[in-house]
A and B are shown apart, each in its own frame.
Chain A
Amino acid sequence: MSTVVSQHERLADEALAAYAGLKRRRRILLAILGFGVIAAFLLDLGTGPASISIRDAASSLLGFTELSRAQGVILWQVRLPVAVMAVLVGASLSLAGAEMQTVLANPLAEPFTLGISYAAALGAALAIVLGIGVTSLGGPWLVAGNAFLFALAALFLVQALTRLTNAGAETLILFGIALGFAASAVLSLVQFIASAEALQQIVFWSMGSLARADWTVLSILAGVLVLVVPFSLRAAWPLTALRLGEERAISLGFDTDRLRLMALIRVSLLAATSVAFVGVVGFVGLIAPHIARMLVGEDHRYFLPASLLVGALTVSAASIASKLIVPGIVIPIGIVTALVGLPGFVWLVVRRHRRPA
């Protein structure tokens, strides 16, 4: 009898040790991702038409070396804002995508596939062309504010439609695609009637570019991220429970309606501010959470931070690539992520359909 008991306890201890090992591996992976982001950020700083090495850039940032005046301007006013922007936008879009995929129980959900980015582009275009806006502030704030509100409205419209028709997850994506098409049709119309100068602005805006970074914009993006992340992390358990299904989550005492609403508000804030200032950057919010999921699984205590880091890493890498593809020219980041992201999207769809039912 006692051997049975000790056997039983040995198995329990083994299972606990194995789980402790799993958690340790995940923490190590998060640390590696964190270092990866820092490395990509520095590499981003050291890449560009003007020759400033990574070492010079890093030591100048830390105040060890003085760069020439021209180099200083390039580093502090061009490269640094862009590199910080890449990290912030990647983190925001990816965290938004991760939360969206969980609360909508759909692995293809992200701001881009749900038409939110195009709605934001439409909002921006209207502000550029007509000067119609909801904020009394002028200039870039009008554009960004409008983009933000259109993004928010699109998200809630898709939600409401899905809820009204009592439709499933696939339908939600279809509504999103339809909304994206509708927004881009109206966008074309706006472009058609726009003046040449406004047209150029719109096209530039909708390409998605990190070049609009300035310190005010960066502080807003950082502010939103700092505001949202603690709430996201606090929702880690209920979000994890939601992965066991709606019924299970409710039976565990979680208010899933409220959980979903709060998550979508966080998603709107993150996605809409990113899109408002950077334009359309597709697929990051889709692919990065999937990579994070493959690395650390879906315990949201690890999954959410991992998504954030993978997103930051991805956009930093894209930022580096955008400077290297055509020497001397910085390609808008949205083009780079779309080129890389599209095959990833196809891969996800194929992988999903291959899964045994």
Chain B
Amino acid sequence: MTVHEQLVVTALSVSYGRRKAIDGLSLATIRAGTVTALVGPNGAGKSTILKALAQIVPSTGALLFGSTNLRLLKPRERAGLIGFMPQALPQGTELTVIESVIVAMQGAVSKGGLERQAVAVLQRLNIVQLSLSSLDQLSGGERQLVSLAQAIARSPRLLFLDEPTSALDLARQLQVMQQVRALAEEGAAVIMVLHDLSLAARWADQVIVLDRGRLYATGSPQDVLTPAMLADVYGVHARVERIGDQVVVLPESAVPPRSTV
């Protein structure tokens, strides 16, 4: 297991047309074997950053993982290294669950072991009973688990998850977060976009707070998730409680709009 590798992101910029969504963002080092939560209000640029890191949207800036320049990888090499879970799977796809995982493994696994390995991934996420269900018949939570299965099918060393728990009930949230921790322990560097700050506090080693495309703060959950940050970035008064060594965020009321002068 190589725990020494780290992801270094420097001067990342993303433009949509003439609008700069992200402008020269540098992130703190993200070590393999850890889980990083990317948080911030709607429109802060969280998903855009994740897509830029996965090179799904064009961007500029340095992306280094260990001694590998991610920008110089061929698409197939990149696909073997980076697992990406988008916010949602498209509607109306009449593929079965197992087919969707098999197609996600194409080229990464030798033909013979393909189906067995796809089944192993489904078992890992406890959804093997859905193998032959059509993606279209799944509930929102099941779709999310299948999407995660596709993302981890190639055992990537960099795993980027865009709101992996947004449609999940409590039991499945727990299950997914445990899997994410397990994947990190196996050596992956995980970055996930989360809206639930208490979830971020519970499961992430490091929290990155974004505000309107800029880096606001980076650090451990305890250091970063403070009432001052919540008022400043989210515009809410919130209580931040400690239960044991866990941080729990309880929003209470909106901060009156900042004066624009």
Contacts and interface: CB of A to CB of B under 8 A. Distances in A.
A248 B84 contact: yes
A297 B94 contact: yes
Interface residues of B, number: 46
B78 A22 contact: no
A289 to B, nearest CB: 11
A357 interface: yes
B95 A243 contact: yes
Interface in B90-105: 90-96, 98-100, 103-104
A16 B98 CA distance: 9
B55 to A, nearest CB: 8
User: What's the dominant secondary structure at chain A's contact region?
Assistant: helix
Nearest to A11: B128
A240 B99 CA distance: 9
B79 A105 contact: no
A18 interface: yes
Interface stretch (B23-31, B118-126, B210-218, B245-253): B118-126
A255 B55 CA distance: 12
B56 interface: yes
Place the interface of chain A in its size category: 20 to 34
Nearest to A250: B56
B116 interface: yes
B112 interface: no
B131 A19 contact: yes
A244 B93 contact: yes
Given A247-B86, A298-B93, A16 B104 contact: no
A16 B119 contact: yes
A357 B92 CA distance: 10
B107 interface: yes
A241 interface: yes
B106 A252 contact: yes
Contact of A237 (B86, B90, B103, B151): B103
Given A251-B54, A252-B104, A243 B119 contact: no
